[in-house]
Structure 1
Amino acid sequence: MSLPIMTGTGRLTADPELRFSPSGVAVATMNLAFNARKFDRDRNEWVDGDVFFIRGTLFKQEAENVAESLTKGCEIVVTGRLKTEQWTDRNTGDKRSATSLLIDSIGPSLKYATAKPQKAARASNSAPAADDPWGAANAPQQTEEPPF
């Protein structure tokens, strides 16, 4: 059995928070909001419907990239796995739970914005792999000939 998958377009309600685990792994958490906004023709205005809030989590290099790239208010497209987190409240001893999103992929929505992706620096100093589409090994060769 696997966790349910969610894909949607939403907004960041705050800047992503970047932290590092005791072993040095980057962890980014972010609050996401998804809503059913509709244009009401009778009132000639946009009306917000129900809103679904969820906390998303990313790890490693992607966590660092998101913390550097996205900010509060960004419209994003995200895919991830829904998970139930459980804990005991320190003050009352009550058991608590909340649904969270383990993010597999996230990026800015280009519906109302533009973005210029830039290859992030590698953690190691090794040469780019031949199958890396962003790597220098796959960069177009500069020639005088047209590309067609």
Structure 2
Amino acid sequence: MGTNTTHITLTGNLTRDPEAGFTASGVFFARFSIAVTPRKFDQQSNQWTDGETTFWDTTAWRTLGEHVAESLKKGDRVIATGTVRTHRWQDKETNDVRSRVVLELDDVGPSLTWATATLSKATSNNGPGRTNGAGPSDDPWANSPGGGWEPSKSGDDQPPF
């Protein structure tokens, strides 16, 4: 992350199924929009009220994009974090300079506030000797019997979390 970047986290709902594809140079991407609606408690009416909804266009690249395309769909509530980017272009008809703000995703996952999820480890590779960030070489839990945690010799039989 650079010194002058805007990094944010959003919680909201997908407004459409992710649109997946490849750039001209062959890089995989998935695009979707997240609707974020703030809620506040109105003490006078003793009810929760919705604020104005903001719609965020998002892009997930490469392996993250593949996982988004395979896992998420319209209506899913997600927590997404990334860097805000402004995309500018010149309108071909009016010659005006146009722009839009996009959230380039670093990570995204289901919100478990009102849902449950069952996770499965991805099988695609993410670089030499790695499997999406946690292969046998860098997963301290992977090579231990009993699911990765073993009691210490001091008799402490509680997991360290």
Q: TM-score range by the shorter chain?
A: 0.7 to 0.9
1:38-77 alignment runs, 5 A limit: 38-40=40-42, 42-43=44-45, 45-77=47-79
Identity across the alignment (%): 40
Q: Distance in 2 between matches of 1:29 and 1:133?
A: 34
Q: Give the TM-score taking structure 1 as reference length.
A: 0.82
- Which of 131, 141, 145 does residue 145 from structure 2 map onto? 141
Which runs of no fewer than 5 residues in structure 1 stay unpaired? none
Deviation at 1:50, TM superposition (A): 1.6
Deviation at 1:52, TM superposition (A): 1.6
Deviations 1:28-49 (CA, angstroms, capped at 9, x unpaired)? 1111111112344555654221
1:96-135 alignment runs, 5 A limit: 96-123=98-125, 128-132=135-139
Asked which structure has the greater RCO (Cα within 8 Å, sep 6+), the reply is 1
Deviation at 1:24, TM superposition (A): 2.2
**Structure 1 residues 133, 100: CA separation in 2 closer, same or farther (over 3 Å shift)?**
farther
Structural RMSD (CA): 2.6
Which runs of no fewer than 5 residues in structure 2 stay unpaired? 152-156
Deviations 1:67-122 (CA, angstroms, capped at 9, x unpaired)? 11111111111111111110111222211011111111110100000111111112
Q: What is the match of residue 16 of structure 2?
A: 14
Q: How many residues of Structure 1 are paired with residues of Structure 2 in the alignment?
A: 143
Q: Distance in 1 between matches of 2:30 and 2:105?
A: 10
- Give 3-state SS (helix, strand or coil) of 2:34's partner: strand
**Structure 1 residues 97, 117: CA separation in 2 closer, same or farther (over 3 Å shift)?**
same
- Which of 81, 84, 87 does residue 82 from structure 1 map onto? 84
Deviation at 1:54, TM superposition (A): 1.4
